């Protein structure tokens, strides 16, 4: 029984036939062609596949397509379309926060959720907000620097 999935993907309404038990990471990458979202561990231990579902960070490797019905999904591809997203992208570039780049989409989506939360973000809060995202290259300092810059002036 192929399921017709209705959801919003990066602001666009989607109606898509797919297997309801298809993993969201596979749906995004293989069927939607959005290969920005990465699969790292596939078991919820690295955060590379972090996406936002109704604004909340979730792991695309541990969700099935049926869970997206009626939801709004944002992936790393949406960042360039918003001011806060562009702020994050620019800060990552300026601080050299990207090395191999595999963790970057997840890091940036976790950062987007932090920025939008309106919480005051000191370096400890940023580290805690990124604590579900592993990076094996940078040592994290430049990533935290980038998020700290992106957050400047966004505290509400």
Q: Which stretch binds another protein (CB under 8 A): 17-25, 79-87, 136-144, 147-155?
A: 17-25
Give min distance, CB of 7 to another protein, in A: 13
What phi, psi does 51 have (nearest 5°)? -130, 170
DSSP state at residue 100: S
- Residues 153, 98, 30: CA angle, nearest 5 degrees: 105
Query: Residue 33 has what DSSP assignment?
Result: -
- Which residues in the 24-63 window bind another protein by CB under 8 A? 42-47, 50, 56-59, 62-63
Give the nearest distance from C-beta 122 to another protein in angstroms.
16
Least CB distance from residue 48 to another protein, whole Å? 11
Per-residue contact string for residues 62-91; x = within reach of another protein by CB under 8 A:
xxx-xx-x----------------------
DSSP per position, 37-92: S--SSSSSSS-TTEEEETTEEEEGGG-BGGGGTT-EEE-GGGGGGSHHHHHHHHHH
Helices (DSSP H) in the chain: which residue ranges?
24-26, 83-94, 104-117, 123-129, 141-151
Nearer to another protein, 41 or 93 (CB): 41
> Where in 124-143 is the site for another protein (CB under 8 A)?
128-129, 131-134
| Residue from the set 8, 16, 20, 148 that interacts with another protein by CB under 8 A | 20
Angle at 107 between CA 105 and CA 16, to 5 degrees: 40
List interacting residues with another protein (CB under 8 A): 1, 3, 19-21, 23, 42-47, 50, 56-59, 62-64, 66-67, 69, 110, 113, 128-129, 131-134
């Amino acid at each position: 029984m192929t399921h017709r999935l209705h959801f919003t993907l990066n602001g666009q309404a989607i109606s898509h036939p797919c297997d309801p038990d298809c993993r969201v990471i596979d749906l995004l990458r293989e069927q939607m062609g959005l290969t920005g979202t990465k699969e790292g561990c596939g078991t919820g231990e690295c955060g590379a596949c972090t996406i936002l579902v109704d604004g909340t960070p979730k792991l695309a490797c541990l969700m099935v397509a049926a869970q997206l019905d009626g939801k709004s999904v944002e992936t790393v591809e949406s960042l360039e379309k918003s001011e806060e997203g562009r702020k994050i992208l620019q800060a990552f570039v300026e601080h050299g926060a990207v090395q191999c780049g595999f963790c970057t989409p997840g890091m940036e989506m976790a950062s987007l959720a932090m920025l939008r939360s309106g919480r005051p973000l000191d370096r400890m809060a940023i580290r805690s907000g990124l604590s579900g995202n592993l990076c094996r290259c940078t040592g994290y300092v430049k990533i935290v620097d980038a998020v700290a810059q992106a957050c400047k002036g966004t505290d509400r």
